[in-house]
Structure 1
């Protein structure tokens, strides 16, 4: 009897897609279980009772939650394509940038696209400051680890996929070839990969979803 590998997911979550990309890179076969977060399944609540969110990864009946933890588990379990470098310092550096991406870059960019007027201007300053650090880290490199994608690329992959969607939904442009040439080039290299072209959320569906979210957020804060 073979391995049991399942991924509890939603189609639009950037945290889910980084796990999908890792599994595809490793060539790991898995069963995809789509969750409705407005009506969470007993399996999701059982496997992730603390956060009650996706992604959740199940391997032979054992569950792992939180996407960064899942990525490291996948990397340690299947060695067909290393996501993290072997050198301890390089590995620690990759973990640092992954945490910075989730703790600083993602929330600041998201808030900048949600806000309007003066609040958006202030939020954009914070987002651009965080993006400058990413730009500096990418100088002289095609991907964060060098010539091929790895751990940090997967973690920041949402930038390459979702920023264009957020731009369409809000009209705000933060990442251009003039403002962030290295990051802009990385986004193009990332989305040009066959792996990414074959595995990403549909842009039109995402655009509609985020337009609804932005409108709801605006209406809530205007009341």
Structure 2
């Protein structure tokens, strides 16, 4: 039995964060694919409140929610590839930006994809606001974590890959090199890293999934 297990779904951005962090730390783990329409007994047992992935199980103890799991991984295997900065201010800013991505950016993209009229326009404004903030936050750094991939880079993998796939699926170009030079450069750097290329799904595999998802939503509305 593996000491570390990860419950996730194919191409899920949140469990991919957990897996990428484990890969960077050199931690071996067992991956367990979940079915959203037929959740396993273990998943419901380990995450009885939300019944959602990802769930990290370490020595039989479950940890839920990707941001919390990332911090747990960093503290548990602290000697290898630190994820969060040592400086308290930089650490707090990394957490702030991570919450900005999960709460504001993803919520705004939901409005862009499913909203209409003013709601959709508001979503677009919020998307550009967050992207501009993160673009400025990069400054002249290679990664958000400096010279190496860190906590915020892992969280922002949503922007590097899934965000682009959603753009293509809805036929909109929101994150361009002209508008967001630093963020675009970061995406190229991040996606060209060997461990990222090996671990994350391809954009080509994600686009059809989103197209089908959006078409299903239109059909049911």
TM range (shorter): over 0.9
1:143-165 deviation per Cα after TM superposition (whole angstroms, max 9, x unaligned): 11211110001011111111221
Within a 5 Å distance, the mapping from 1:18-167 to structure 2 comes to 18-79=17-78, 80-115=80-115, 119-167=119-167
1:45-99 deviation per Cα after TM superposition (whole angstroms, max 9, x unaligned): 0000001000000001000000001000000011211001112222112111111
Checking the alignment, whether the CA contact within 8 Å between 1:75 and 1:82 is kept in structure 2 is yes
Going from structure 1 to structure 2, the CA distance change for 1:77 and 1:217 (only over 3 Å counts) comes to same
1:152-199 deviation per Cα after TM superposition (whole angstroms, max 9, x unaligned): 010111111112211221110001110110111111111011011101
2-structure distance, mates of 1:110, 1:193: 29
Q: Flag structure 1 segments of 5+ consecutive residues without an equivalent.
A: none
TM-aligned CA deviation for residue 14 of structure 1: 0.6
2:199 matched residue in structure 1: 199
Checking the alignment, whether the CA contact within 8 Å between 1:113 and 1:172 is kept in structure 2 is no
TM-aligned CA deviation for residue 117 of structure 1: 6.1
Going from structure 1 to structure 2, the CA distance change for 1:212 and 1:117 (only over 3 Å counts) comes to farther
1:177 matched residue in structure 2: 177
Going from structure 1 to structure 2, the CA distance change for 1:171 and 1:207 (only over 3 Å counts) comes to same
Superposed CA RMSD in Å reads 1.7
TM-aligned CA deviation for residue 116 of structure 1: 5.5
Checking the alignment, whether the CA contact within 8 Å between 1:142 and 1:186 is kept in structure 2 is yes
Q: Secondary structure at the match of 1:8?
A: strand
1:19-49 deviation per Cα after TM superposition (whole angstroms, max 9, x unaligned): 1110000000000000001101000000000
2-structure distance, mates of 1:116, 1:162: 22
Q: Secondary structure at the match of 2:67?
A: helix
TM-score, normalising length from structure 2? 0.93
The number of residues matched between the two structures is 220
1:187 aligns with 2:192: no
Checking the alignment, whether the CA contact within 8 Å between 2:25 and 2:81 is kept in structure 1 is yes
Checking the alignment, whether the CA contact within 8 Å between 1:94 and 1:152 is kept in structure 2 is yes
Q: Secondary structure at the match of 1:198?
A: helix
